[in-house]
Chains A and B, each alone.
Chain A
Amino acid sequence: MRMRKSGHRAGLLLFIGMLFPGTMGLPVAGWAQESVAVRATLIADAVPDDPTASAWNAIAPSEFPLSPQVHWPTRILQVTVQSVKARAIHNGKDVAIMLEYADPTEDPDDAAAVEFMVGEKKAHFAHGQPMAQVEGGPVNIWFWKNKDGKAVDMTAKGFGTLKAQDDQDVKAKGAYANGEWKVVFTRPVTTANNETDTQFKPGDFVNISFAVWDGKKEAGGDLKEKGSQKAISSWWYFRLDPAPNYTPYGYAALAIALAAGFQFVVIRKLKKGSST
């Protein structure tokens, strides 16, 4: 009897041991990545193009630190804006991205931008500058300036190549209150210009980077931040949330049924075997 019992216990252990390989693949990776992505929430209505729209309140922002641009000349060693919060919403047709950041003064030359890669080729975050061993692609920059009150849809492939596109697909609107800028960019999810515009596909992660200029005038009359003298980030991630997909539940249900059936057959077989 004693022998038998320990045998059973051992059987139990072995069975658990055999389950081990199956459980090893459980999703453990993933929590390490907190604020590295902006996720555009899927809604049914029109996307809000106004920074003060209440739809934004329902969306949790992701925050990204900014650096003074010291990567290429002309550099700047200190900038006003230290980080930017980003939220996004889409409805399958249009996408809206809102940047929110602290800037103590409202100035006509205050400006902000988001940048994306275009097409399959990788592009360096600094205006798609050439890479020695990798063939790079262009970047698409959405630029907003307070005094213009609109967005400029731009393309660059290397320093000194930045220019406004012929097709302007991006809209932007800024609102300043309580020492804080909120700027909303909106664009259709896809456009006709594959060569110059980034194209979004719900569920797919793409790269995004941020830039902010404090357009304050210094004592001498020069702008504190302008051109390459700005606050920047390198690449982070952006994606449009996909529509809910229930097929994995279906597959799981099928797998459970199969496993239960398999178990049933095996045990029946074992019972038959031992009773003869």
Chain B
Amino acid sequence: MKGPLIKPLVLTGGVYVVLKFVLPLFTAPLPSSLIFLYIALTVTGVLIFTTLSEQAMEGVFGPVFRFLSGEGVGGAMQTARLGLLVLFPLLVGWQTYSSTVPSDHPPAENRTIHPAPPGEFAGLSNPIPNTPENVMAGKGYYAAYCSPCHGAKFDGKGPAAGGFSPPPANFVDPGTIAMLQESYLFWRIKTGGVGLSTEGMPWKSAMPRWEVELKDEQIWKIIMGEYDGAHQKPRTWE
């Protein structure tokens, strides 16, 4: 199948596939309203491009108009045409229904997992020397204070993890401490869930506010033990 129609179709379909399915492999899925906008832009672009020449215009719209009007259309194509004429209003109806029906689902949770830390924590570096003794001490504190939730295997599956949503962070997962700096962990451990900004939804987090119970020095040691135990390295800039 050839003709001037194919290119715009492939283009639009391609853009849709990329936005809807390929992009989410790398980043957060786009909201459908945004996808709609991009598709609308693509279609508009194609339309403007084709209407620039009369010949292209006839090439693109001629077949569409003939198909829709039913002129000289017969057999299976006629059935398809009628089907389409029934389907289109139904789809519009469905679309209207689903956009006006009150939601039956809890509000979407768009929790930001790693909001920016307060200024005073940015760029702090671990003042404790990274010696085997200190790492060991950190792991000892971790076992006592953190493992009930974050797990003895640092995987977020501690015996006390089940009742909490969001669940305790899984430090083995590359999406947690591996992408954070030590100063960020220091902030999170010290001030806990309640230290988060609004986007982090502090009211939901079970992460304790350890500054009430642990000394800074203990926290720095825990950070070393945590990275070591989870086989991760802190993220460093520069």
Contacts and interface: CB of A to CB of B under 8 A. Distances in A.
Contacts of A14: 5, 8-9, 60, 64
Contacts, number: 239
B39 to A, nearest CB: 5
A267 B68 contact: yes
Interface string B30-43: 00110110011001
Interface residues of A, number: 88
B56 interface: no
Interface string B45-74: 000000000000000101111111111110
Interface in A188-209: 203, 205
Contacts of B9: 10, 13-14, 17
B126 interface: no
Contacts of A9: 1, 77
Given A36-B106, A256-B90, A24 B197 contact: no
Interface in B98-115: 98-102, 104-108
A263 B80 contact: no
A132 B202 CA distance: 9
Interface string A1-17: 00011111111111111
B96 interface: yes
A64 interface: yes
B64 A11 contact: yes
Interface in A24-53: 24-27, 29-30, 33, 36-37
Contacts of A234: 163-165, 204-206
B23 interface: no
B131 to A, nearest CB: 29
A233 B96 CA distance: 38
A258 B96 CA distance: 12
Given A26-B94, A68-B159, A129-B194, 19 more contacts: A11-B65, A11-B67, A13-B5, A15-B67, A25-B32, A25-B33, A25-B98, A30-B104, A65-B162, A67-B149, A71-B208, A231-B163, A234-B163, A234-B165, A237-B107, A245-B102, A270-B68, A271-B71, A274-B69
